[in-house]
Amino acid sequence: DNGPLWGGRFGTTPAEAFERLNASIPFDARLAPYDIRGSIAHARMLGERGIVSGEEAAELERGLRAVLEEVEGGRFSWTLSDEDVHTAVERRLREIVGDVALKLHTGRSRNDQVALDLHLFVRDAAERMGEALLAVMRAIVEVAEANRDLVLPGYTHLQRAQPILLSHHLLAHFRAFERDLTRLRMAREAASASPLGAAALGGTPHPVEPALTAKTLGMEPLLNSLDAVSERDFALDLLYAAAVLGIHLSRLGEEWVLWTSAEFGFARLSDAYSSGSSIMPQKKNPDAYELMRGKAGRLVGNLTALLVTLKGLPLGYQKDLQEDKEPIFDSVDAVLAVLAVLPEMLRTATFDGERMANAAGGFALATELADFLAARGVPFREAHRAVGRLVRRCEEAGLPFEEVPEDELVAAHPALADLPRELLTPKGSVANKSSPGSTSPDSVDAQLARARGLLREL
Ligand code: ARG
């Protein structure tokens, strides 16, 4: 019997161009290990429920394991006429175990089968992405600890705002990644549901036991067969987690692109994580960080692609759903590729503490003076105005703010007579913070201790 597995009611084989359009095998072949694991769980359940005999179930499982070995060894031969991964595996199974293979699909449809494969893939991907993200978080904590006392300006509007500790800055990224990890775990949770037993959409007359297959796979069984074959929420969850993570990675990447520029000069990348120019011999480019920023575009695009694919679909399987796979694969690959370079790229970079500290001084200390006055009972608005005048005066007279003479301070506001000069330094300013979660060294130490503890638990 030639032709597709649905060939019974058809008079001719499919047109070649249609076959090419219809086939998912060029991209869903990578689901094969998940497809086979799902089939093994299904075959066991068929045996346990007496839908096939115990020997038949064992034979099916033996054959499926043989197919899995071929797939994993790269010896499986994929052909477009198999249409999709499910058909390809079943075809090969029959070649290995003979006609008993024809019983495997009892009580099952490709609709619950493909939904299961995707659940298994997403669950696995969320796990791997989480592990890779943890490696980044570990590197961040290490780099923050090793550079705990370096100061740099915090920016608003990309204008120097106030001095902060580099470690505080790095820990801000850590917090974002913590939330990303939570989102990845939620996606993993959502993917831990088995659609097997739904069959095409309404269940099956065979005495299948969804809880059995679900248990074998470490999943929750379906509660509604129609929902089980229709929903792709778990995939959206993963794509959303990847998109938000992508935005966070892009933000980090953008900062490093700035920091490694001659204009900032805050940091240098190891040569191992930089590339050069084919024409300009002096160039050392932060390509990896640019790609991190660039990948965010496709991560957002992939989420949008699946959302729009799902929009307007009624319940039940529609072939549109075949379009769910490539965005998922692409997002997973992009995130894993970026996360694979980031930990070592962070560890091997070096900082120019002096340049950062210089940039964090000067007018970036103005708020400190206003806060000093306010702490002495001067209404904050009045303090703000007085220090603003002092800034203008220094700017006009070309006076370095940190060395502003006593008489200028007193002229700006009499209460500035008692100003401890230490406050007019980046380190002094940082040390003067006292609010919880602030950039003060004590707060940063507490944040570091918490992060360390968290990494031990996670
Ligand atoms: N290749 C299909 C997909 O990726 C598998 C499910 C096919 N089901 C069907 N009724 N045509 O979605």
Domain ranges of the chain: 7-106, 111-147+164-198+217-354, 359-457
Model confidence, pTM: 0.96
Does the ipTM exceed 0.90?
yes
Q: Could you tell me which residues come within 8 angstroms of residue 377 by beta carbon, excluding any fewer than 6 positions away?
A: none
Catalytic annotation present for 169: no
The CATH number of the domain covering residues in 359-457: 1.10.40.30
Predicted pLDDT at 192? 98
Q: Could you tell me which residues come within 8 angstroms of residue 443 by beta carbon, excluding any fewer than 6 positions away?
A: 168, 433, 435, 436, 437
The number of C-alpha atoms within 13 Å of 355 and in the hemisphere containing its C-beta is 13
Predicted pLDDT at 1? 53
What superfamily does domain 7-106 belong to in CATH?
Fumarase/aspartase (N-terminal domain) (1.10.275.10)
pLDDT means per 10 residues, the chain with 458 residues, are 75 92 97 98 98 98 98 96 96 98 98 98 98 98 98 98 98 98 98 98 98 98 98 98 98 98 98 92 94 98 98 98 98 98 98 98 96 96 96 95 94 94 96 97 98 96
CA 309 to chain centre: 22
Q: How far is the CA of 82 from the centre of ligand 1 (A)?
A: 12
Instruction: Give me the CATH topology for the region 111-147+164-198+217-354.
Output: Fumarase C; Chain A, domain 2 (1.20.200)
Catalytic annotation present for 157: yes
Mutate which of 114, 196, 326 for ligand 1? The one with the most ligand atoms within 8 Å of its CB, which is 114
- Long-range pairs of 210-216 with CB within 8 A, sequence gap ≥ 24: 212/41, 212/44, 212/45, 212/48, 212/49, 213/38, 213/41, 213/42, 213/44, 213/45, 216/40, 216/41, 216/44, 216/45
Q: How many CB atoms lie within 10 A of CB 24?
A: 20
Is residue 84 in contact with ligand 1, taking CB distance under 6 Å?
yes
Closest protein CA for atom 12 of ligand 1:
322
3-state secondary structure of 447: helix
pLDDT digits (tens, 9 = 90+) for 115-129: 999 999 999 999 999
> CA 183, 186, 192: angle at the middle one, nearest 5?
145
Query: Which position among 168, 230, 277, 435 bears the catalytic label?
Result: 277
pLDDT digits (tens, 9 = 90+) for 4-45: 777 788 889 899 999 999 999 999 999 999 999 999 999 999
Measure the CA–CA gap between 333 and 32, rounded to whole angstroms: 17
Look up residue 220 and give its DSSP letter: E
For the purposes of burial, counting CB atoms within 10 Å of the CB of 18, is it exposed (0-12), middle (13-18) or buried (19 or more)? exposed
